Amino acid sequence: MAKVRGAVVVDQECCKGCNLCVVACPENVLGLHKEVNSKGYHYSHMVSPENCIGCMNCGMVCPDSCITVYRVKVPVEQD
Amino acid sequence: MGELRLMKGNEVIAEAAIRCGCDAYFGYPITPQSEVMETLMARMPWEETGMVVLQAESEVAAINMMYGGASAGRKVMTSSSSPGISLMSEGISYMAGAELPGVVVNVQRGGPGLGTIQPSQADYLQATKGGGHGDYRLIVLAPSSVQEMNDFVDLAFELSFKYRNPAMILTDGVIGQMMEKVELSDFKPRWTDEEVERLNGSWAATGKKPNRERAIKTSLELVAEKQEIINQGFQAKYKKMQEEEVRYEMIHCDDAEYIIVAFGVSARISQKAVDLLREQGHKVGLFRPITLYPFPSKIINQMADKVKGFLSVEMNSGQMIEDILLAVSGKTKVDHFGRMGGVIATPGEVVDAMLTKLIGG
Amino acid sequence: MAELQLADIIKPENKVYGKSKIMTDTPLHYCYGCSHGVVHKLIAEVIEELDIQEETVGVAPVGCSVMMYNYIDIDWMEAAHGRAPAVATGYKRVNPKKYVFSYQGDGDLAAIGTAETMHAVNRGENIVMIFINNATYGMTGGQMAPTTMVGQVTSTSPYGRNVDINGYPLRITELLAMLPGAAYVTRQSVHTPANVRKCKKAIRKAFENSAKNIGTSFIEVVSTCNSGWKIDPVAANQWMEENMFPFYPLGDLKDGERDSFEQFSVQKLKK
């Protein structure tokens, strides 16, 4: 058995805060930051990184190609 | 000695295109130049040299197909007549703006609007002052014989690639439709892909290579200061044309007191008028600009010191006369004789005009 | 077992998704949430996956994507408004081995360039045509497009598109699917991850068709223009689903190759 863990890296300067990745995420990992980047956008970031499964949905819908997705398989010990 | 034939001017344009290694012709039928594409289609050059011939859905499409083919660094051409050239003016402006070579043949007919299908020279200003929007110029060659219809196709390609600017062969329904003896050029092979890369690879969109920046054939630059620099580059190019590419022919100008300035078919009519005037004892010469742009202003200005007057003979209301007036700069008299709407002047009319407007006046 | 740290996951060997190498570093000038960016990167990904960067030439339109040549690292031509299919035709005819694609919006492709669009497809040019339909003129500030929905408010139909005055929204993709020169005609969208995947497949197929010389491949992408529509990107996706998809249904309209039309070939005229 293995479980999948993922992580998302958002290029915060490139992000325009359109929110499409936040909506596309099935695990509610992402949210818009209360801070803004140098252009004044509330950029996207991981608010619940532990939930990320690396499904790439956020990256797929990102119009600005500012999301990189990583994924690892983590072996789960059988009880 | 090349191959001798008796051919129509329009047919010769087609034959010369094949022989000079043209890669593609895109066109749309319009009187009085439809023989160009008809000849090409009948000749099937795609089987002989690989040259593409395509009947477009409009002149607008044809000129934009040229834009595409020229972007590839290829020798592309089109032909049309006055109303069609108006439609192409958008694309010609874009080509000039993107610095793309290509040859446009205008077999002029009378205008404005649908006008007539009879020959005319009423597109002089359109051809030499740009025609479309923006500050640009075309290299404009004016053949006055079927032989020159042959010779100027290759020359127009040569100049248009040298300056990376569209070139126009500005002819008319007479030269396009008449048959004359012509010595055809020898065949030149089309450029191979490697030759295109070697000759035009520095600017053409031949596919992005790892060792160079991507080629972008565009006329767009939104920053006004940068757009001005681009325009300054164009102007430098046009200045160089004025210095190096002026072509003209002079007949009986050495001792002339009066000079007829005429191009294309008007020059042929005027040549007869010069003969008639000389028979009457008048020292008249003919000056024939071959490049209408760049216009032979310098030589006209020099001649203006010696002669008593110039008569501009054109098949229009007086268009080239504006360039002659600028060249002469008030040094001597300049007048105009022309017929409009597709009417061809006779040598007798030119003689009368010279006598009444200049010699007797 | 100890909980994985983020640093253990964010390692090059674990990367599963990122920006295509064919995309340049230039930030896209589009408004936030604009569909253009998604379609751009799909094209770049397909070019990268097929390894055809050196063989591909794009034709940019006039409209918001006029400067798309700044974003995809290939050779480009910038066409006059509506003329991209003619420019693509000219290029492809003299360079038949190249992959040539045009990219146009609804005003460019379905209004001013209708003739060039129809005839390029009707000739069966072996090019890829990508059509972004967002029912508005985005660049000039949200005016009515040929594809604007009935009743849709735009800056030139401020009381909603009225068919008595403005005529009807144009389903040009359906028209093009009827043409014998078309090989592949499809309508896609990029508003959900699943649709993005489907759209990419369609773009890939179109480029593969181009190498097979089987006719024109045409992809409409029903898209949003949240700035033009004056709503946020998420709401724009929803509006598109509810209002545009019923009129512009997604799916393939033709998938095959251009028709031979041999059965309609006439006998030579006898004199």
Kindly state whether A20 is in contact with chain C, defined as any CB-CB distance less than 8 angstroms.
yes
- B137, B167, B183 - which closes a domain: B183
pLDDT of res. C171: 98
Nearest to B64 among C69, C75, C90 (CB): C90
Our count of domains for chain B comes to 2
Contacts 24+ apart (CB under 8 A), B276-279: B276/B347, B276/B348, B276/B351, B277/B351, B277/B354, B277/B355, B278/B252
pLDDT of res. C1: 47
Rg (CA), chain B: 21
SS (H, E, C) chain B: CCCEEEEEHHHHHHHHHHHCCCCEEEECCCCCCCHHHHHHHHHCHHHHCCCEEEECCCHHHHHHHHHHHHHCCCCEEEEECHHHHHHHHHHHHHHHHCCCCEEEEEEEECCCCCCCCCECCCCHHHHHCCCCCCCCCCEEECCCCHHHHHHHHHHHHHHHHHHCCEEEEEEEHHHHHCEEEEECCCCCCCCCHHHHHHHHCCCCCCCCCCCCCCCEECCCCCCHHHHHHHHHHHHHHHHHHHHHCCCEEEECCCCCCEEEECCHHHHHHHHHHHHHHHHCCCCEEEEEECEEECCCHHHHHHHCCCCCEEEEEECCCCCHHHHHHHHHCCCCEEEEEECCCCCCCCHHHHHHHHHHHHHCC
- B vs A contact (3+ beta-carbon pairs below 8 A): no
**What's the distance, Cα to Cα, between the start and end of chain B in Å?**
48
Report the gap between the CA of A25 and the closest CA in chain C (Å).
9
Question: Distance between CA atoms of B256 and C259, rounded to whole angstroms?
Answer: 68
- B166, B183, B200 - which closes a domain: B183
Burial (CB < 10 A; 0-12, 13-18, 19+), residue C163, is exposed
How is domain C29-137+165-264 classified at the CATH fold level? Rossmann fold (3.40.50)
Kindly state whether C17 is in contact with chain A, defined as any CB-CB distance less than 8 angstroms.
yes
Q: Is residue B262 part of a domain?
A: yes
Residue B351: Cβ within 10 Å count? 23
Cβ-defined contact of A9 to C19 (cutoff 8 Å): no
**Is residue B163 domain-shared with residue B43, that is, in the same domain?**
yes
| B-chain residue closest to C99, CA distance | B207
Concatenated DSSP letters of A62-79: -TT--EEEEEEEEE----
Q: What values do phi and psi take at C234, rounded to 5?
A: -70, -45
| C-chain residue closest to B53, CA distance | C93
Task: Tally A–C CB contacts below 8 A.
Answer: 98
pLDDT of res. B9: 98
CATH code (residue B278) = 3.40.50.920
The closest of B32, B3, B16, B133 to B75, measured between CA atoms, is B16
Which residues of chain C carry a pLDDT beneath 70? 1-2
List of chain C residues whose C-beta atoms are within 8 Å of the C-beta of residue B207: 53-57, 74-75, 98
- B183, B207, B236 - which closes a domain: B183
Cβ-defined contact of C9 to A5 (cutoff 8 Å): yes
What's the token pair of residue A72?
Answer: 């690892």
Domain residues for the domain of B257 are 249-359
What is chain B's mean pLDDT, rounded? 97
Q: Is residue B136 part of a domain?
A: yes
pLDDT of res. C267: 83
pLDDT in tens, B5-45: 999 999 999 999 999 999 999 999 999 999 999 999 999 99
Q: Map out the domains of chain C as residue ranges.
A: 29-137+165-264
- Greatest Cα pair distance, chain B, in angstroms, is 72
Q: Is residue B69 part of a domain?
A: yes
CATH code (residue B92) = 3.40.50.970
Pick the CATH number of A2-74 from 3.40.640.10, 3.40.50.720, 3.30.70.270, 3.30.70.20: 3.30.70.20
Q: Residue A75: pLDDT band by 50, 70, 90 thresholds?
A: confident
Cβ-defined contact of A64 to C17 (cutoff 8 Å): no
Q: Residue A1: pLDDT band by 50, 70, 90 thresholds?
A: low
Q: Map out the domains of chain A as residue ranges.
A: 2-74
pLDDT of res. B1: 79
pLDDT of res. A79: 58
Q: Is the pLDDT of residue B234 over 60?
A: yes
pLDDT of res. C2: 58
Percent of chain C with pLDDT over 90: 94
Question: Distance between CA atoms of B343 and B119, rounded to whole angstroms?
Answer: 7
Best to test chain C binding among A18, A50, A55 (most C CBs inside 10 Å): A18
**Is residue B11 domain-shared with residue B158, that is, in the same domain?**
yes
Kindly state whether C53 is in contact with chain B, defined as any CB-CB distance less than 8 angstroms.
yes
The closest of B79, B63, B29 to B132, measured between CA atoms, is B63
pLDDT in tens, B170-184: 999 999 999 999 999
Q: Is residue B240 part of a domain?
A: no
**Is residue B160 domain-shared with residue B300, that is, in the same domain?**
no
Q: Is residue B190 part of a domain?
A: no
